[in-house]
Amino acid sequence: MSEFILECCVDSVESALAAAEGGADRLELCSALVLGGISPGLALFEQVSACCDLPIRVLLRPRFGDFLYTDYEFQILKREVALFREAGAEGVVIGCLDADGSLHMEQMRDLIAEAGRMKVTLHRAFDVCANPVKAYEQARVLGIDTILTSGQEKDCLTGLPLLKQLGIMQKETGTPRIMAGAGVTPDVIRQFCAQTEITSYHLSAKKVVDSGMQYRKEGVPMGLPVMDEYSIFRTDSQIVAEAKRVILEQINEPD
């Protein structure tokens, strides 16, 4: 499993098109990326699918916050897996924990069964689990395709020691594939290629775009008061393209 994958996390059609233009291999589709991502609507998935030929894995997360879900939240997750399977998603990005910080194996099995032939990524619930080595082995037993992780740190560079260990485990077992995420830039990919066995990278490549609104009513926040209502986060195709160039350099480098 030596092929490289560059996955771009997007929450709009505009960002999906920019990711494709920059050379991304796959999309992770969500909504509210600025909050870490929650489940997108079917209409967004359909529009992105219509405009972009890249494989799409859909992030499924019913709310902001931790990954200990009530039965109501879990039933929503399970229904969303079915909906996006029926809609033609390439895969889903999921994760459920028990209160003790372990993977909630019963819930994970149910979601994976609902996914059918779709690929499954274990998202960054992995980064707040109690025992990442045990969770990696559990993910392998579950048949999970990919684990998205920062190495249980705020960004993947800080988490490099664990990511190195996980990369070695991947090389020995074959799956799940470790995908480095959080703080990924072209330079970070270059460093990881030199120091780890990891060949999969996840980035949002965000830039801030100023809203086209001319009239602006200040002092009336629609969400978090610290957020600027007139700043829009979009994927920058040039950052994606530079990341892809770094990866192509690794692929073309002589042995």
pTM attached to this predicted model: 0.92
Q: What is the pLDDT of residue 216?
A: 85
Whole-number Å distance between alpha carbons of 199 and 178: 8
Q: b/e per residue, 146-175, with b = 16+ CB within 10 A?
A: bbbbbbbbebbbebbebbbbbbebbeeeee
Whole-number Å distance between alpha carbons of 140 and 145: 8
Sequence-ordered list of residues with C-beta below 8 angstroms from that of 125, at least 6 positions apart, any chain: 67, 95, 96, 97, 103
Closest CA to 38 of 2, 65, 68, 72: 65
Q: Which two tokens stand for residue 113?
A: 């069964």
- Percent of the residues in the chain that have a pLDDT greater than 70, as a whole number: 96
Task: Indicate the pLDDT class of residue 255, thresholds 50, 70 and 90.
Answer: low
Sequence-ordered list of residues with C-beta below 8 angstroms from that of 193, at least 6 positions apart, any chain: 246, 247, 250
Q: Give tens-digit pLDDT for 130-151.
A: 999 999 999 999 999 999 999 9
What DSSP designation does 128 have? G
Q: What is the pLDDT of residue 230?
A: 83
Q: Give tens-digit pLDDT for 168-177.
A: 999 998 889 9
As a whole number, the mean pLDDT across the chain is 93
Query: Residue holding tokens 């020995």?
Result: 172
Q: Give tens-digit pLDDT for 221-249.
A: 776 666 777 888 999 999 999 999 999 98
Burial tier of 23 (Cβ tally within 10 Å: 0-12, 13-18, 19+): middle
Mean pLDDT value across residues 20-39: 94
Q: What is the C-alpha R_g of the chain?
A: 18
How many residues are recorded in the chain? 255
- Residue by residue, what is the 3-state secondary structure of 228-254? CCCEEEEECHHHHHHHHHHHHHHHHCC
Whole-number Å distance between alpha carbons of 35 and 225: 13
Task: Indicate the pLDDT class of residue 199, thresholds 50, 70 and 90.
Answer: very high
Closest CA to 33 of 204, 225, 241: 204
